[in-house]
Amino acid sequence: MTVQPIRLFGDPVLVTPASPVVDFDKELRQLVADLTETMKAAPGAGLAAPQIGVPLRVFVWYVDDEIGHLVNPSLDLSDEMQEGEEGCLSFPNLVFETPRAFRAVAKGFNMHGDAVVIEGTQLLARCLQHETDHLNGVLFIDRMDTESRKLAMKEIRESEWFGTAIEQGSKPVVKVSPHNTFGLGI
Ligand code: ZN
C-alpha cells in the first residue's frame, strides 16, 4: 500500500469523466488500498481515484469510523436537501457551504465484483455525492449557485497552492502541509 500524491484543482484529470472498471483484479485491489492509505494520511473523509491521477470509477470513504469503497457507483438521491460546509482534498485548506441531498443510495460493486448498496444520510450522503461527482469530472464548486461559486473562486485563486497544478502540467503535485479541511475534505 502506498500513499499517493493528491492532484490539485487545475489538474485536467479532475475535470475528466472516469471510465468504468472492467477487470476486478489485483490492480483494482491495489488501487483501493492506495486510495484508502492516501485518504487516511491526508487525512480525509473520502477520496476518488481521479484525485490520485487514476481515471477509473472507484472511490473510498472514512465516515463515522467506517471505511468503505465502491466501484462503478450509481446514485439515487432524496428530494430533501441538507445544508453544510464541505471541503475537498484537491482544494487544500478551504471549506465552502455546498448544498447536497440529505439521503443518498449508492449502488455499485466491491473490489471483488460483488454487487453492494450503500445508504447514507448527512455526511455519508454528502460524501457519496461528492465522490461520485469526482468520477464524472464534476467538482463541489460546480454544485454552488453562481454567487457562492464566484466567492469560492476568489478564495481559491488567493490560496497559496493555486496555480501549482497548472504550472507543473499533469505531473503529480505533492500536497502542501497536512490538508487542513477541518475533517471535511473529501
Ligand atoms: Zn473532492
Tens digits of per-residue pLDDT, 18-38?
999 999 999 999 999 999 999
- Alpha helical stretches, state H, the chain: 26-41, 122-135, 146-158, 164-167
Domains of the chain by start residue, with CATH: 12-167 (3.90.45.10)
Q: To which residue does cell 461520485 refer?
A: 132
pLDDT digits (tens, 9 = 90+) for 104-130: 999 999 999 999 999 999 999 999 999
Give me ligand 1 centre to Cα 79, in Å. Answer: 23
176 has a pLDDT exceeding 90: no
Q: How far is the CA of 108 from the centre of ligand 1 (A)?
A: 19
- In the block, cell 455525492 appears at 129
Classify strands 100-101 and 103-109 as parallel, antiparallel or unpaired: unpaired
Rounded to two decimals, the pTM is 0.90
Instruction: Enumerate the active-site residues.
Output: 131
Q: Tell me how far the alpha carbon of residue 184 lies from the centroid of ligand 1, in angstroms.
A: 10
- For the chain, the average pLDDT equals 92
User: In the prediction, which pLDDT does 1 show?
Assistant: 72
C-alpha cell at 147: 454567487
